[in-house]
Homo-oligomer: A and B are copies of this chain.
Amino acid sequence: MTETTGYSGGGPVLIKNPHLDSMEEDILYHLDLGTRTHNLPAMFGDIKFVCVGGSPNRMKAFAQFMHKELGLEGSGEDLADICAGTDRYAMYRTGPVLSISHGMGIPSISIMLHELIKLLHHAKCRDVTIIRIGTSGGLGIEAGSVVITDTAVDASFQPRFEQVVLGDVVVRSTDLDRDLAEELLACSKEVPEFPTLIGHTMCTYDFYEGQGRLDGALCSFSSEKKLEYLKRAHEAGVRNIEMESTAFAAMCRLCGLRAAVVCVTLLDRLEGDQIRAPREVLREYQQRPQRLIAAFIRRRLGLRPLPATEGTTDRHGP
């Protein structure tokens, strides 16, 4: 069974669940929110941009950064965690921007996305753009490069997400919005201090054996087999590797959300496995997708004219 519903583009958030409207109350358990306990349209109805990333601290820092970038009053230092009643996820809002953590891996982002998409539906949000800003391992590109994903692929380099439903496998498309990816690449010219490129992103269920690392507690393969696998991935167009993009792409596509994945690379996996850069270098790397997305949101909101300067952007791909 293959599901390949396309984008609605700019409309409401689509819930593909006929049971939901007959529920008297919907408890978004892992977000500590609910339709009876919270006025979701009042809290979230005007949200236009949702940014998600693994680390709660990073998503708080992003919300504070966006607060300044949007020119809003106050320092933004006191933004409250909307999900403070639970430590599963953290959520912050500033202006029309919602910033949420999703933890690591497909199951963790999938729980958050189910509840976030229901939240956006209950809040009657329209015209929502959702962007994952994350970290990743690069393939054949300089550490610190930012990769905008055109297509998320699995560990066999296929553009698909296999979802188990009642014990059976359902295959879903992982295409992302090409126009949005190109728009983001254009925005990257406003932040020319680091390379930005478009490429495929490989999504795995495991950081060590699943990504061909030689430094886990378990490893049964040679350095040669590892490099052979990573080079095949590179030849298939993969430019970075992370652990959430296929599920993110598949769910957002099915629910009519324009979606993008923008990840910085912390190392080049063709050079090694361990993340050895000093903490301050890694911290600056992690700000790069945030700066790109801030430029994009500012441009969308008409807060700054398009600069004429050329950036060091590049386009890679198969």
Q: Check if A70 is an interface residue, CB within 8 A of chain B.
A: no
Could you say which residues of chain B place their CB within 8 Å of the CB of A111? 104-105, 206-208
Q: Check if A42 is an interface residue, CB within 8 A of chain B.
A: no
- A226 to B56, alpha carbons, bound, how many Å? 34
Report yes or no: B163 in contact with A206, Cβ–Cβ below 8 A.
yes
* Shortest CB distance A283–B (Å): 11
Report yes or no: B205 in contact with A164, Cβ–Cβ below 8 A.
yes
Q: Chain A interface mostly helix, strand, loop or mixed?
A: loop
**With A166-B226, A221-B165 in contact, do A114 and B57 touch (Cβ < 8 Å)?**
no
**Which among A15-23, A141-149, A192-200, A309-317 touches the partner chain?**
A15-23
Q: How many copies does the complex hold?
A: 2
Q: Check if A50 is an interface residue, CB within 8 A of chain B.
A: no
Instruction: Tell me which residues from 101 to 123 in chain A have a Cβ below 8 Å from any Cβ of chain B.
Output: 103-108, 110-111, 113-115, 117-118, 121
Q: Check if A300 is an interface residue, CB within 8 A of chain B.
A: no
* Shortest CB distance A160–B (Å): 14
- A212 to B167, alpha carbons, bound, how many Å? 9
By beta carbon, the residue of chain B nearest A202 is B167
Which of B205, B226, B255, B275 is in CB contact (< 8 Å) with A107?
B205
Residues of A near any B CB (own CB < 8 A): 15-20, 23, 25-27, 29-30, 54-57, 85, 87-88, 103-108, 110-111, 113-115, 117-118, 121, 155-157, 163-167, 170, 204-210, 212, 214-221, 223, 225-226, 229, 243, 251, 254-255, 274-276, 279
